[in-house]
């Protein structure tokens, strides 16, 4: 018997980023329900971002808040022949740092055990002592969460956003996706960002499938865990501090084994 036999998992990652974990779930006997709750794409108008990137040398600290920020931000930097020579560079996690290395940006500090904004804010290099009166640029998607920037401002940093990709709500009919997979309530729902969790809750409400608020969620940080409780999900979420495919699969198989006992 495979470790995820009889287990259905709602995969909410954006299309193009979800396939790796979906295939791993299926290879281990589970049902991967592909229902992206966030759409990621290149920003249509990069004029403002281009102006900011050309001033990159004036910043003391550069932060990439996600793999998408690394992907689109590093490409923008490369397109304008800019260099990260003097600034300290931070990434939201090992995956983001790895993507930056693929662009030749090697000297990067990233949290390991707790990724995302909370992990970044626990790094000594982003403490009040280190960021006060420093110019910080944050590469992110349009309208991304403000928690990181707000906290750094409270620590005395001067914040500039470089919005280099687009985030928007998906065009997904969740009821139809569930019917196609012959599932009423997925055993587990993956929510690796606050926005994906918020969009999922909105879709559930709009489509009047409130039973899904009772499914077990797996989230990428304690902060997302607190958010899903406020959104109406009833189960205590499983928290994967570093949401690599490998770590998610380890948590899923451990949970499934306990469920089958």
pLDDT of residue 115: 83
Neighbours of 91 (CB within 10 A): 29
Cα–Cα distance for residue pair 148/200, rounded to 1 Å: 23
Which DSSP state fits 249? H
**pLDDT of the chain, 261 residues: tens digit per residue:** 899 999 999 999 998 889 999 999 999 999 999 999 999 988 888 999 999 999 999 999 999 999 999 999 999 999 999 888 789 999 999 889 999 999 999 899 999 878 888 899 999 999 999 999 999 999 999 987 788 999 999 999 999 999 999 988 888 999 999 999 999 999 999 998 888 999 999 999 999 999 999 999 999 888 899 999 999 999 999 998 788 899 999 999 999 998 766
Q: Which residues pair with 34 in a beta bridge?
A: 11
Neighbours of 69 (CB within 10 A): 25
pTM for this structure?
0.82
Tokens of residue 87, six digits: 């600034």
SS3 42: strand
Please, what are the domains in the chain?
8-38+170-260 (3.40.50.10090), 41-167 (3.40.50.10090)
Tokens of residue 127, six digits: 């403490």
Tokens of residue 124, six digits: 């000594």
| DSSP states along 177-194 | HHHHTT-SS-SEEEE-SH
Taken as a whole, the chain contains a residue count of 261
According to DSSP, the β-strands at 88-91 and 61-64 are parallel
């Amino acid at each position: 018997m495979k470790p995820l036999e009889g287990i259905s998992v709602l995969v909410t990652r954006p299309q193009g980023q979800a396939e790796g974990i979906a295939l791993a779930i299926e290879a281990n006997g589970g049902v991967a329900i592909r229902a992206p709750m966030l759409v990621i794409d290149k920003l249509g108008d990069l004029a403002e971002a281009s102006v900011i990137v050309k001033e990159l040398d004036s910043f003391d600290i550069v932060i990439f808040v996600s793999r998408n920020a690394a992907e689109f931000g590093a490409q923008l930097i490369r397109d304008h022949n800019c260099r990260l020579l003097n600034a300290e560079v931070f990434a939201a996690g090992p995956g983001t740092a790895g993507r930056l290395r693929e662009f030749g940006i090697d000297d990067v500090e990233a949290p390991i055990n707790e990724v995302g904004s909370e992990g970044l804010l626990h790094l000594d290099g982003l403490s009040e002592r280190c960021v006060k009166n420093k110019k910080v640029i944050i590469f992110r998607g349009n309208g991304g969460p403000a928690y990181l920037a707000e906290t750094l401002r409270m620590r005395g940093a001067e914040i500039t956003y470089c919005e280099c990709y687009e985030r928007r709500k998906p065009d997904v009919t969740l009821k139809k996706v569930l019917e196609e997979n012959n599932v009423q309530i997925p055993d587990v729902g993956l929510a690796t960002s606050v926005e994906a969790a918020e969009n999922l809750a909105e879709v559930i409400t709009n489509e009047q499938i409130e039973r899904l608020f009772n499914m077990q969620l797996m989230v990428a940080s304690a902060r997302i865990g607190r958010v899903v409780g406020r959104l109406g999900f009833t189960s205590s979420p499983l928290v994967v501090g570093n949401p690599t495919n490998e770590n998610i699969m380890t948590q899923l198989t451990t949970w499934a084994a306990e469920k089958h006992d």
